[in-house]
Amino acid sequence: MDNLIQNQNIYPENKDNKLLWLSFALLALLFAPTIAWLFERWTMGVWHNGHGILIAAVVIYLVWKELKNNNSLPQSITPWGFAALLPALFLHMLDTGMHTQLLGAAAFFLALPGLSLLFLGIERTKLILFPLSMLMFTLPIPLAFTESVHLALRHIATDGTGWLLNQTNIPHFVSGTLIEIPNGSLQVADACSGFSTLYATITVAILTAYFCPSVIRRIIILCIAIPLAIGVNVIRVFLLTLLVNWFGLDVLATAAHEISGLLTFVIALPIIFWIGQPPLEEE
């Protein structure tokens, strides 16, 4: 009797399974174009939310790991999933008229906790709620919302590079976001502002801090993320400037330009992961 009262607001596990899976299939079909758009944006290049596919893979792994480690939890599905699913469907409907794609992507991520409540239940959804919420940090941010941030980062990269050039005694002149050296002039554009690295580093830092067992390391990770991302990008712009000084402006049209962007991720993200690892004595 107690169990009956406790589960009076919970669907029987098998009775509505077919209806739930049919709903899941329809939602998968509904959001398929959104998923395709997200994949396209995440794979456009290092300058455009390239961290998105990495974070999505990490989230899938974490969700799988949590569910596997807590397989004994009751699968008490609940209709409260519609509380998240219905607003998500409304956003998607709104996006159908506005054609932003971004709103549709936000609706997709909002729908996932709702689907989890409907298919996995409350207890399991609690376990995976944080990883699922991190998917919001993979959404492409329109330039209109980040224009001032881009500009500030461009000035920091330019001024930082100017300071480093002073240390190497290379003749140069810095004006705004323009760096002039004997072999040519470099304009630090939005793509070189380091915003993508900053966005990715902050996202990975939050994710790493959440799973880090040490409070001190969590604080360090969160404090170091922004200066680390900015510093790595300054070094990148400085190295590109050196290459231009040695080989001319044509070097910017080679793979070295894009590889330098990848290096900012290759350097910044492992540092965050490394700080987030427990020291040997804590393992």
pLDDT in tens, 224-234: 999 999 999 99
List the beta strands (DSSP E) in 37-176. 173-175
pTM of the model: 0.78
State the pLDDT at residue 11: 46
State the pLDDT at residue 283: 46
CA distance 151 to 234: 14
End-to-end CA distance of the chain: 45
Q: What is the mean pLDDT of the chain?
A: 85
Average pLDDT rounded to a whole number, residues 15-42: 82
CA distance 195 to 192: 8
Asked if the model's pLDDT at residue 193 lies above 80, the reply is yes
In the chain, the amino acid numbered 136 is M
Burial of 205-223, coded b for 16+ CB within 10 Å and e otherwise, reads bbbbbeebebeebbebbbe
